[in-house]
A and B are shown apart, each in its own frame.
Chain A
């Protein structure tokens, strides 16, 4: 079968293409490896006990306001939120001295010191005394994460302060502190949702609880959450970058030469389409196997895994075919793919985060292959059965088929 000979030729060439191999396999594995070691280290410290955070909140709320309307209260509430309770346990301490003693005695791993007058300084736009974080130098990941949370909250607060200075000219002060408090509350929630929600944060998956379930490998679970993102992202890249080989054949004259052989143009294009599909399939299998063997990931039931992989392959090949059908030269392709795939990747990642989005965005997300595939994989690794994923998988595959068909039609026109 000539169509298979063509595809086999392309696969052989793909295995000799260092750039493609790097993109398809080496890059995702490298990224996963980089994530793996910190997680393993963290597991060693986090699994026996969650991070103990000591909070010294000396901040006094503005007169007449409830305690949690102070900025200090907002920080405290964030650290004590439901979302993070599984890995942070908060102890309230009376003074900085008490916090240092607790650190010394290893009763806490990190201390957050909120100075008196923090809110007042903020509202009064005087240079405010910063929040201090003390940490146990032998612990790595936990205190780091706490510091990040506090810092991102304060970043939000600073922009709130700019807003406060601008607005104070127009709005009475008492009313304003309410506005700012609401803003700060919203911002803290956004931060938690984006970075520390139970879906998005790999840290949170290190659930030290569930003692009855001894077979679960926490690092494996964390890795699976991260790897599915990598697998989906790089599958899409591989499909598109593989298809560049068609433009290359056009430029290097082998496509014209193929057209001079007694081989129909439909077969020649078909061979390329089979090749891209097989390449993305092989890449997916290699990454799944690597996840299992290197990082101990349990991907879930075989059938749902196969279904997710199949729809990933179809949508990644389809998008690749369509994108490349829209450009003329390899030089253009590099630029276009760099931009389009990065944008799609970011949107896809954003849509799987736990954020409240405007309805229009939600609708758009349905068409972003990365987002669809990541959501599908997430369901599979959390143990979803075939019946629970088949609908989503079919819709994703149908989207892929539509992209595929559109690209194929454009190529047919170009080379007829």
Chain B
């Protein structure tokens, strides 16, 4: 082996009865990299992570952490792994410090080294001042930070984070993204799942796009964007839903994909990316996104078709090619729905 694979997933399957949650995924993360697993809700990200962390047995295939199989050598695999679950898993009636000390013990730390490490982690997650408060009194963002801190206590070479920024304030989000960078700079391998393409773009060395239980694309950010070729993504807002118009647009020459951007409760980071910690913006219910070959040539035809259907276009937004466009290109669906 040229480089050691920190995470190796081979032909992994996991079903729930008839439902195939993970349907034959092969994937690898090199030691020291950030691998983002990007996909909409229900894609199978959490299921894959449950198998990697030893909570679920795979129904087929295998996976390993630092060379230890999660099925045959589970204890060794777990010792190399810190897991940040998607839902906060802490004791609300204990303080942040009490939580960290307890979880540190579960990872086998004791005494002085334990308390020194807890101090370090509290510093890292920015909760040194509030460490004696009970977790139940924390904001959502603070809880998420403790939730992450728990997974770092034992200096694991590999950390898996399952959507760690869902539903929190911009400051906490910023802090979490920064700490992922810091951890990675210190040599940790990070598997980071998200349905925010901006996070994947910002953090990841490699990105695996997952949909309906399968990895449908894998590469660096630039490699994935190159899949779009000359295509541009345009978002068009309409005065009303106009269901028929979508089919009319699909028939327009130079248009490859059309989908509605549903008004989504899920947070969506602002356009400027996540660097400014912009808070999610809500997209209008009547906005349609399309992939087109050459916007100069195709846009007039879209306006014509709209007129013919009696629809009025209220705004047009020509986007930088991004991962969302890649997802649209691959699946015909917008990432956010």
Q: Which residues of A contact B (CB under 8 A)?
A: 2, 5-6, 9, 12-13, 16-17, 252-254, 256-264
Contacts A5-B102, A5-B105, A9-B102 given; indicate if A260 touches B91 (C-beta within 8 A).
no
B20 at the interface (CB under 8 A from A): no
B75 within 8 A of A: yes
Establish whether residues B78 and A262, one from each chain, have CB atoms under 8 Å apart when the complex forms. yes
Question: CB distance A260 to B78 under 8 Å?
Answer: yes
A239: shortest Cβ distance to chain B, in Å? 20
Q: How far is the CA of A256 from the CA of B78 in the complex (A)?
A: 13
Looking at A5, A12, A256, A262, which has the most chain B CB atoms within 10 Å of its CB? A262
B81 at the interface (CB under 8 A from A): yes
Shortest Cβ distance from residue B284 to the other chain A in the assembled complex, whole angstroms: 35
Whether B94 contacts A12 by the Cβ 8 Å rule is yes
Measured in the bound complex, the distance between the Cα atoms of B92 and A261 in whole Å is: 19
Using Cβ atoms and an 8 Å threshold, which residues of chain A touch B91?
9, 13, 254
Of residues B88, B103, B105, which shows the largest number of chain A Cβ atoms within 10 Å of its Cβ? B105
Given contacts A2-B105, A256-B85, 6 further A-B contacts (CB under 8 A): A12-B94, A17-B93, A253-B85, A256-B55, A260-B85, A261-B103
Q: Which residues of B contact A12 (CB under 8 A)?
A: 94, 98
A254 x B89 contact (CB < 8 A): yes
Contacts A13-B91, A13-B94 given; does A257 touch B150 at CB 8 Å: yes
Min distance, Cβ B3 to any Cβ of chain A, angstroms:
25
Q: In the bound complex, do residue B106 and residue A5 qualify as a contact, i.e. CB atoms below 8 Å apart?
A: yes
Which residues 87-131 in B have Cβ within 8 Å of A in the complex?
Answer: 87-94, 98, 102-103, 105-108
Name the residue on B nearest A271 (C-beta).
B106
CB distance from B287 to the nearest CB of A (A): 35
Q: Report B14-61 residues with CB < 8 Å from chain A CB.
A: 53-55
The 6 nearest A-B residue pairs measured at CB: A253-B89, A257-B89, A261-B106, A262-B79, A5-B105, A260-B53
Q: Verify if B328 is at the interface (C-beta below 8 Å from A).
A: no
Asked if B83 is at the interface of the complex by the 8 Å CB criterion, the answer is: yes
Give the interface residue-count category, chain B.
Answer: 20 to 34
A205→B178 CA distance, assembly (Å): 73
CA distance A252 to B136 in the complex (A): 13
- Out of B54, B92, B107, which one reaches A259, CB within 8 Å? B54
* A-B pairs with beta carbons under 8 A, tally: 55
- Given contact pairs A5-B105, A12-B98, A261 touches B89 in the complex (Cβ within 8 A): no
- Cα–Cα distance between A9 and B98 once the two chains are bound (Å): 9
Within the assembled complex, what's the spacing in Å between the Cα atoms of A102 and B87?
A: 77
B54, B79, B91, B98 — most chain A CB neighbours (10 Å): B91
The closest CB in chain A to the CB of B89 belongs to A253
CB of B94 within 8 A of CB of A9, answer yes
A16 CB contacts on chain B under 8 angstroms: 93
A sample of 6 inter-chain contacts (CB < 8 A) reads A2-B106, A5-B102, A5-B106, A260-B53, A260-B83, A261-B78
Name the CB-closest residue of B to A258.
Answer: B106
Q: Name the distance in Å between A188's Cβ and chain B's nearest Cβ.
A: 54
A258 cross-chain contacts in B, Cβ below 8 A:
106
Alpha-carbon distance between A258 and B55 when the two chains are bound, in angstroms? 10
Please report the C-alpha to C-alpha distance between residue A110 and residue B192 in the assembled complex, in whole angstroms.
83
With CB as the reference atom, state the residue of chain A lying closest to B83: A260
Residues of A within 8 A of B103 (CB): 257, 261
Q: Which residues of A contact B55 (CB under 8 A)?
A: 256, 259-260
Greatest chain A CB density within 10 A among B87, B106, B150 is at B106
Assembled-state Cα–Cα distance A204/B83 (Å): 64
Q: Once the chains bind, are A253 and B78 in contact (CB under 8 Å)?
A: no
Q: Find out whether the CB atom of A13 lies under 8 angstroms from the CB atom of B93.
A: yes
CA separation between A254 and B102, bound complex, in Å? 12
A149: shortest Cβ distance to chain B, in Å?
50
Nearest CB in chain B: distance from A249 CB, A: 9
Are B54 and A260 in contact, CB atoms less than 8 angstroms apart? yes
Please, which residues of chain A bring their CB within 8 A of the CB of B87? 253
Min CB distance A44 to B, Å, is 45
Please give me the residue from chain B that is nearest to A257 by CB atom.
B89
A5-B105, A16-B93, A254-B91 known; A260+B98 contact, CB < 8 A: no
Distance A254 CA – B75 CA, assembled complex (angstroms)? 18
Set of chain A residues within 8 Å of B94, measured between Cβ atoms: 9, 12-13
Residues of B within 8 A of A260 (CB): 53-55, 78, 81, 83, 85
Question: Which one of B75, B85, B102, B150 lies within 8 Å of A262 (CB-CB)?
Answer: B75
B102 to chain A: which residues have CB within 8 Å? 5, 9
Name the residue on B nearest A259 (C-beta): B55
Report the minimum CB–CB distance from B152 to chain A (whole Å). 13
* CB-based nearest B residue for A13: B93
Contact, CB under 8 Å: A262 / B107: yes
* In the complex, residue of chain B having the shortest beta-carbon distance to the beta carbon of A267: B106
Given contacts A9-B94, A13-B93, A253-B88, contact A262 B108 (CB under 8 A): yes
Interface flags, B61-95, vs A, CB<8A=1, else 0: 00000000000000100110101010111111110
The chain A residue with its CB closest to the CB of B150 is: A257
Closest to B110 in A: A5
- Complex CA gap A256/B91 in Å reads 13
What's the nearest-Cβ distance from chain B to residue A143, in Å?
50
Closest residue on chain A to residue B98 by CB atoms: A12
Residues of B within 8 A of A253 (CB): 85, 87-89
Which chain B positions have C-beta within 8 A of A259?
54-55
Smallest CB–CB gap between B137 and chain A, Å?
Answer: 13
Q: Are B83 and A257 in contact, with the CB atoms below 8 A?
A: yes
A257 touches B85 (CB 8 A): yes
Nearest CB of chain A from residue B118's CB, rounded to whole Å? 14
Whether A256 and B89, one on each chain, are in contact in the complex, defined by CB atoms closer than 8 angstroms, is yes
Known: A12-B94, A13-B94, A256-B55. A263 touches B89 (CB 8 A): no
Give the residue name and chain of the A residue nearest to B78 (CB): A262
Q: Which residues of B contact A6 (CB under 8 A)?
A: 106
Contacts of B150 in A (CB 8 A): 257
Nearest-CB distance from B20 to chain A (Å)?
22
Cα–Cα distance between A187 and B78 once the two chains are bound (Å) = 69
Rounded to whole angstroms, the CA-CA distance of A6 and B87 in the bound complex is 21
Residues of A within 8 A of B106 (CB): 2, 5-6, 258, 261-263
Min CB distance, A217 to chain B, in Å? Answer: 40
Measured in the bound complex, the distance between the Cα atoms of B97 and A12 in whole Å is 14
